[in-house]
Amino acid sequence: MIRTFLFSFLLMLATLGQADTVEVDILGMSCSFCVEGLENKLSELPDVAHVDVSLKNKVVRIVSKEDSLDMERVRSAIIDAGFTPAEVRKIRTDEH
């Protein structure tokens, strides 16, 4: 009985507040310092759980802590870091 309750509780927690994941094409990245600067800037945002920047693909993947990501705040952080955000794609939550 306790195992069943625990499993149900964990399953409920797993489905509540699933994180959003988005990919943003980045214009203007050319070196590893660009990657580090962008990762640091985006990691400072309160609703960001994880940031992965690909210099090769010129893409940043952002995973939110909550069930939604403040894209205006993300866009502003990218611009503040000295880059231009281009296309934004929401990634299905079962991919991460």
Q: What is the DSSP string of 44-94?
A: TSTTEEEEEEETTTTEEEEEESSS---HHHHHHHHHHTT-EEEEEEEEPGG
Find the CATH number of the domain harbouring 58: 3.30.70.100
Domain around 27: 17-91
Within-domain flag for 3: no
pLDDT of residue 94: 53
Least confident interval from 11-15, 22-26, 71-75, 86-90: 11-15
pLDDT digits (tens, 9 = 90+) for 45-95: 999 999 999 999 999 999 998 777 889 999 999 999 999 999 999 886 554
Within-domain flag for 59: yes
Within-domain flag for 5: no
- pTM value? 0.75
Within-domain flag for 11: no
How many domains is the chain partitioned into structurally? 1
